[in-house]
Structure 1
């Protein structure tokens, strides 16, 4: 059953005339008759009793009439809701981000977003950046705010929002902290604590050591940067963390090797249509990067 046929059916039932219904619908009478015939063929029964020029609903027609009205009303409501999507910012917005970005980069953005769009319910998943890529692939989130992968998959589009410079650091009483200059060789002689080996940050550091054919001593690992900072601050190991995490308990090591920098930003799936709520959030992130 299609909308034009149901509309023709209700109009004929109201007018009790094919010719008047055709005039009201701005159609020819044969066109209206064709739509009614198509509807009757789909249902396998006639809907009107035709007695001369008199046209009345039969039992089947009377059963269909309220349901036809419901279907047309549902279609009208659906069109209106879809039309509202062009202007309204509401609903649930599911996103993923890392704990570090959530703590260090997003509070002001989240506060402003909630102020502007109070009708949006935020569903924020705090996960590792690598997991956010997987969630986006499965359609579980609309976008992720993450450490960007050095080799971004083709199905994703990414945008840089923040450069996140990293610093080698250690506790004040760590042997490396007393050196004026620290070589990669010297770093390799001491225990390090880093995010797990499958993370983008670990891969950046490992590449530095592999370039000099050196190995990393990493018996400890954690994907919570705050935990890594605590363990390093009590002298258990040296580490490399975002510059924003350097505090009085840690000293920045003056290293000879190139200090890498992470790229933080958002990722979206190229084949997904974003909601107004998602686009509004990305607008705030784009303003942050400009």
Structure 2
């Protein structure tokens, strides 16, 4: 077993375990599929045990492979940590950063954040994955992304580290021309009688909304559903109904007086803005810099919420 600490072989093993495919691992690493197979054969020979079951195109870790995987991850992480410790803190940050997020955050908060991050760290290559929370959790678990941003109900992070968790207001909103837009107070049952546009069922803030309505013995039936929040906002601007969205998504439209928050009487809901990374993952300088930038942005979200509270009390 004297050669099993070959970092190149360990990295190949981890990439196959994460991607579930020899071919995908070869594409990620830039090796030929044959080279990947040879590395794993050598690693299995060095360890004296089989690490993968190959069932046609499917690849699964054997029990020994599952046992070895966390050790391989730790060895690679310690290697990265050791290299990082030799870099002076005033040296420019370089390397790769893989970020996963949901459609709504990507369309609203991300452009400004990415522009600021790139200006500070031009040597970092950014890879952005936009998907559903379920797919992002899987990607984070299998180390396909480094950081995940999403909106949801309160979440207990067992296998992940919660870098940021902030309450953000979710509001009923509509065009400034909507019949309810001029009212100072609206009954919940009244607004539910109007046509509405919502995100797809079981998405984060719609799930929170429907749960709270259910507790009150009420329900909501959208005329239009879409996972694309940009489309929903455009339809609102055309006065095609009302929607229920995180306030930060429509903040600019509110300032421009194109959209209005509908003041629903005795009904308030919030979603959680989360930023996570995988537990036990080494937080490199690229990740640390991005998380610190997100913390500043999270403070802005809280300021927006406080501004709304003050405005509603005047």
| TM-score class normalised by the smaller sequence | 0.5 to 0.7
Q: For this pair of structures, how many residues does the alignment match? A: 215
1:19-38 paired onto structure 2 within 5 Å: none
Partner secondary structure for residue 282 of structure 1: helix
- CA-CA distance at 1:203 after TM superposition: 1.1
Partner secondary structure for residue 281 of structure 2: coil
Gaps of 5+ in 1: 4-78
- CA-CA distance at 1:98 after TM superposition: 2.5
Pick aligned residue for 1:235 from 239, 253, 266: 239
Q: Match for residue 139 of structure 2?
A: 135
- CA-CA distance at 1:225 after TM superposition: 1.6
1:81-230 paired onto structure 2 within 5 Å: 83-88=82-87, 89-160=93-164, 162-230=166-234
Does structure 2 retain, via aligned residues, the 8 Å contact 1:148–1:266? no
Summarize deviations over 1:132-161 as a string: whole Å, max 9, x none.
223212321011122144233421222336
Gaps of 5+ in 2: 4-77, 88-92, 300-314
Q: Distance in 2 between matches of 1:90 and 1:271?
A: 22
Q: Distance in 2 between matches of 1:205 and 1:83?
A: 47
Q: Match for residue 260 of structure 1?
A: 269
The root-mean-square deviation of aligned C-alpha atoms, in Å, is 2.8
TM-score, normalized by length of structure 2?
0.59
Decide whether aligned partners of structure 1 residues 285 and 174 sit closer, same or farther in structure 2, where only a CA change above 3 A counts. Answer: closer
Does structure 1 retain, via aligned residues, the 8 Å contact 2:95–2:125? yes
Q: Distance in 1 between matches of 2:140 and 2:212?
A: 30
Q: Match for residue 251 of structure 1?
A: 260
- CA-CA distance at 1:230 after TM superposition: 1.6
Q: Match for residue 57 of structure 1?
A: none
Does structure 2 retain, via aligned residues, the 8 Å contact 1:148–1:158? no
Q: Which has the larger radius of gyration?
A: 1
Residues 269-278 or 198-207, more deviating: 269-278
